[in-house]
Amino acid sequence: MDEVLNVFSVEAREQLEAMEAGLLQLESGDRDPETINAVFRAAHTIKGGAGVVEIHAVERFTHVLENVLDRLRNGEIEVGGEMITALLAGCDHIGALLDLVSHGEMEPNEELAQAGDAIIDLLKPYLGASKAAGGTLAAKDAEIERTSGTTAVSDCWHISVRFGRQVLRNGMDPLAFLRYLLNLGEVAHIETLTDAIPEAEAMDPESCYLGFEIGFRSHASKDAIERVFEFCRDDCELHILPPNSKVEEFLELIESLPEETMRLGEILIKSGALTREELESGLRHQADAKVGAGDTALPPLGNILVQQQSVQPELVEAAVVKQKVVAEKKAAEASLIRIHADKLDQLIDLVGELVIAGASANLLAKKSAEATLVEATSVLSRLVESIRDSALQLRMVQIGETFNRFHRVARDVSRELGKEIELVINGAETELDKSVVEKIGDPLMHLVRNAMDHGIEPAAVRAAAGKPPKGRVELNAFHDSGSIVIEVVDDGGGLNKERIRAKAVEKGLLQPEATLSDQEVINLIFEPGFSTVEKVTNLSGRGVGMDVVRKNITALRGTVEVQTEPGAGSRFTIRLPLTLAIIDGFLTGVGKSSYVIPLDMVIECIELAGTSRERDYINLRGEVLPFVRLRELFEVGGDQPPRENVVVVQYAGQKAGIVVDQLLGEFQTVIKPLGSLFRNIRGIGGSTILGSGEVALILDVQALVGRCAELEEQRVGAGGHLLEARA
């Protein structure tokens, strides 16, 4: 049952996201009926799933939202800001109820129940009188029992359902579907079929052998009735005939069902779907048609309708084409499977160990000098690389899933602040590792909220500055130099450097006489406890946020940079690695030590001329290239080799060189995190295990490029000579 609840919770949250997205579209002016229908279907699916797994709190509450949306799609009410606000609050409440379910609680506590009642009170003006007063589930159960065996009228839907053997094993109760069906109308007749139950000695108590013939009075559509059985659709046989269907359609239904013909006919007569004369006449006509045609098969429904001139042949052909498209779509959806994240993580760990073992086998093969063994390990290495790439691709997800949640954030924050703010998303299809996506959500939340609160000015201020009254915040994502770049851009007033400096001096973060560059002043916003807001609000002012942003991004081996222009806005740029697990590396050697440089950041390798030994830069085709010597930086012992090499790397548009002794070639690198003791070492981003079993350090190219940039600034500032304060 826990597995069923987990599946329901995941799917319900997906539907909640669809509801929120649709509601925000409606509020922004979208009046496409399909948008309204999509929101209604999402609510309906959540309610249906909750009814099936018997989470009645979610079912009852979502039923209220569904009623409002039903009136909206029927044109009985119009879209309004207050209604959208209440519906979005309802989505939040459903999310809170799902949180309780994840902790094993099926009913809300008193506080949460009161919050739900308050939201229902907000929605009451949009509910019709009949919809506002709904019966309890117990009353609906009684209604099923009361109507069983009664006679229905001919204007009912006829539902034939035969549940599959696995329904009970999958944690589903057939009666739960019938209870949920009552949300759409009235059960006029119900007949329980037990013909499939075997003898006692052959019966499996965990298997379901039940079937139902139901006369159902409702104004709902066929799609709505089908969605009641959506959660068991692949494990049941379902037939639905509309009110006043033709005799031939019922005969075709009888033909397709496993029970004996006359028994089914008696059930149809009892339910009022057919009269005895209609049934007998239809069966005789059917038998005559089969004999005359020499065929034992019942003609398809489409042919019957055409023969009776009920519809045009073109319409039947169009319906067949549409059914084919729908079937293909369902087949494509069925090809997707859900995999628990822990299983993917375990797979990546195993692939990482496979990469290390493959490197060890390759090294031993080369030492043996056996040509056939070397060839075999070479093929093995290529296969391991393909497995690695495929495994990592499984973890790649589009960042748009994270970006889309900010539409709701922008909507709520702009209403709270009384500002008009437009959120624009670019590059939502950009992919990166799921572990990075999961951990980048909170930092992005801080940056987006700060951009709206601090960056975007009030409409009056913007109008005075000649700007449009509606502010603009952009979320951009793209790949660059083996990294993913995420930008949060606003067209607000920009950062006030003088105010930042004054606040830093006031808080003791900066001495009044200190000399800082503009960029260093801007970076003060990332200091713990720093805030330029005088008044604490729900959004900001507590000095908590930007330091957490930098801390979380640094933990992901990423960086965050700020660019600002007074009156024009600010740009926060986050750079992150595409994956935190396995990368292509470039193996180098310095003395007896080995170092790995991420291959995506390597541009080229050149030999270091002897004349460059006394300085920390070279002339690379007319361009000054600062470099760092790993031997000096990490104090590697031993004699300096007669020949050194420079690995030219690039990060965030800046080039630099890394001087090493040996170039050892490409290397599949399994990233192992450093212990807490080495966490703050600058220039090292992790470690890996070589095929020989030795440990190699992975270089933090961003830190090394930053060091080179500092040395270059010092050299330029000193008139071409480096300051003696080199680290």
> What are the pLDDT digits (tens) for 218-277?
888 888 888 888 878 788 888 888 887 777 777 778 777 877 776 777 777 776 666 767
Task: Using pLDDT thresholds of 50, 70 and 90, give the confidence band for residue 691.
Answer: confident
Going by DSSP bridges, is the β-strand pair 695-699/593-598 parallel, antiparallel, or unpaired? parallel
Collapsing DSSP to helix, strand or coil, 64 comes out as helix
Collapsing DSSP to helix, strand or coil, 514 comes out as coil
pLDDT at 139: 44
The top-scoring range by mean pLDDT among 101-105, 173-177, 364-368, 612-616 is 364-368
Question: Which string of b and e fits 320-354 if b means at least 16 CB within 10 Å?
Answer: eeeeeeeeeeeeeeeeeeeeeeeebeebbeebbeb
pLDDT at 2: 66
Q: 212-221, 417-426, 471-480: which has the minimum mean pLDDT?
A: 212-221
Instruction: Tell whether the model's pLDDT for residue 12 goes beyond 70.
Output: yes
DSSP per position, 657-692: EEEESEEEEEEEEE-BPPPGGGTT-TTEEEEEE-TT
| Amino acid (1-letter code) at residue 264 | L
pLDDT at 533: 58
Q: Which residue has the higher pLDDT, 151 or 398?
A: 398
- Residue 244 CA to residue 242 CA, distance in Å, equals 6
Task: Using pLDDT thresholds of 50, 70 and 90, give the confidence band for residue 626.
Answer: confident
- Residue 594 CA to residue 601 CA, distance in Å, equals 18
Task: Using pLDDT thresholds of 50, 70 and 90, give the confidence band for residue 304.
Answer: very low
Tokens of 341: 């994240």
Instruction: Tell whether the model's pLDDT for residue 716 goes beyond 80.
Output: no
Beta bridge partners of 174: none
Q: Mean pLDDT over all residues of the chain?
A: 78
pLDDT at 90: 92
Instruction: Tell whether the model's pLDDT for residue 138 goes beyond 80.
Output: no
DSSP H or E segment with residue 433 = strand 431-433
> What's the whole-number mean pLDDT along residues 582-604?
89
DSSP per position, 71-107: HHHTTSS---HHHHHHHHHHHHHHHHHHHHHHTT--S
pLDDT at 685: 78
Residues 6 or more apart whose Cβ sits within 8 Å of residue 589: 595, 660, 661, 662, 664
pLDDT at 439: 83
Quick one: CA torsion of 19, 25, 27, 31, rounded to 10 degrees?
-110
Instruction: Tell whether the model's pLDDT for residue 323 goes beyond 90.
Output: no
pLDDT at 512: 81
DSSP per position, 547-601: HHHHHHHHHTT-EEEEEEETTTEEEEEEEEES-SSEEEEEEEEETTEEEEEEGGG
pLDDT at 307: 47
Instruction: Tell whether the model's pLDDT for residue 143 goes beyond 60.
Output: no
For the chain, helix, strand, coil in percent to 5 are 50, 20, 30
Residue pair 282/275 in contact (Cβ under 8 Å)? The answer is no
How many residues can be counted in the chain?
Answer: 727
Beta bridge partners of 272: none
pLDDT at 666: 87
> What's the whole-number mean pLDDT along residues 390-396?
82
* Interhelix angle 276-293/261-271, nearest 10 degrees: 140
**Residue 260: CB atoms within 10 Å:** 11
Q: In what order do the strands lie in the sheet with 559-565?
A: 421-426, 471-480, 483-490, 569-577, 559-565
Task: Using pLDDT thresholds of 50, 70 and 90, give the confidence band for residue 137.
Answer: very low
- Residue 427 CA to residue 399 CA, distance in Å, equals 8
pLDDT at 151: 34
Q: Tell me the Ramachandran region of residue 220: left when phi exceeds 0, alpha when psi lies from -120 to 50, beta otherwise.
A: beta
> What's the whole-number mean pLDDT along residues 34-53?
83
Beta bridge partners of 561: 573
Residue pair 570/490 in contact (Cβ under 8 Å)? The answer is yes
pLDDT at 605: 92
pLDDT at 570: 92
Q: 131-140, 336-345, 610-619: which has the minimum mean pLDDT?
A: 131-140
Residue pair 301/247 in contact (Cβ under 8 Å)? The answer is no
- Residue 516 CA to residue 326 CA, distance in Å, equals 64
Residue pair 188/309 in contact (Cβ under 8 Å)? The answer is no
pLDDT at 309: 46
> What's the whole-number mean pLDDT along residues 61-78?
87
The CATH number of the structural domain formed by 2-133 is 1.20.120.160
**Residue 82: CB atoms within 10 Å:** 10
Collapsing DSSP to helix, strand or coil, 696 comes out as strand
Closest CA to 117 of 40, 43, 60: 60
DSSP H or E segment with residue 265 = helix 261-271
Quick one: CA torsion of 362, 367, 371, 372, rounded to 10 degrees?
-50
Q: Which residue has the higher pLDDT, 511 or 140?
A: 511
Domain residue spans in the chain? 2-133, 138-299, 341-395, 398-577, 582-717
Task: Using pLDDT thresholds of 50, 70 and 90, give the confidence band for residue 426.
Answer: very high
> What's the whole-number mean pLDDT along residues 705-727?
58
Taking CA atoms, 357 is separated from 352, 581, 689, in Å, by 9, 16, 10
The fold of 582-717 is OB fold (Dihydrolipoamide Acetyltransferase, E2P) (2.40.50)
Phi, psi at 512, each rounded to 5°: -55, -35
Beta bridge partners of 191: 213
What does the pLDDT look like over 436-445, one tens digit per residue?
Answer: 887 888 888 8
pLDDT at 604: 92
pLDDT at 286: 60
Instruction: Tell whether the model's pLDDT for residue 327 goes beyond 60.
Output: no
Radius of gyration of the chain (CA): 34
pLDDT at 135: 41
Share of the chain above pLDDT 90, in %: 9
Q: Tell me the Ramachandran region of residue 392: left when phi exceeds 0, alpha when psi lies from -120 to 50, beta otherwise.
A: alpha
Task: Using pLDDT thresholds of 50, 70 and 90, give the confidence band for residue 726.
Answer: very low
pLDDT at 648: 93
What does the pLDDT look like over 635-669, one tens digit per residue?
Answer: 888 778 888 899 999 887 788 899 999 998 888 88
pLDDT at 147: 40
Question: Which string of b and e fits 156-185 if b means at least 16 CB within 10 Å?
Answer: bbbbbbbbbeebbebbbebebbbbbbbbbb
Residue pair 661/631 in contact (Cβ under 8 Å)? The answer is yes
pLDDT at 290: 52
The CATH number of the structural domain formed by 398-577 is 3.30.565.10
What does the pLDDT look like over 490-546, one tens digit per residue?
Answer: 998 888 888 888 888 887 777 887 778 888 888 888 887 676 655 545 455 434 468
- Residue 151 CA to residue 267 CA, distance in Å, equals 10
Instruction: Tell whether the model's pLDDT for residue 708 goes beyond 50.
Output: yes
Q: Is 209 exposed, middle or buried (0-12, 13-18, 19+ CB in 10 A)?
A: middle
Do 2-133 and 582-717 have matching folds? no
pLDDT at 537: 53
Residues 6 or more apart whose Cβ sits within 8 Å of residue 419: 452, 456, 458, 459, 471
Tokens of 9: 């919770």
Instruction: Tell whether the model's pLDDT for residue 621 goes beyond 80.
Output: yes
Instruction: Tell whether the model's pLDDT for residue 576 goes beyond 70.
Output: yes
Closest CA to 345 of 392, 387, 385, 383: 392
pLDDT at 640: 81
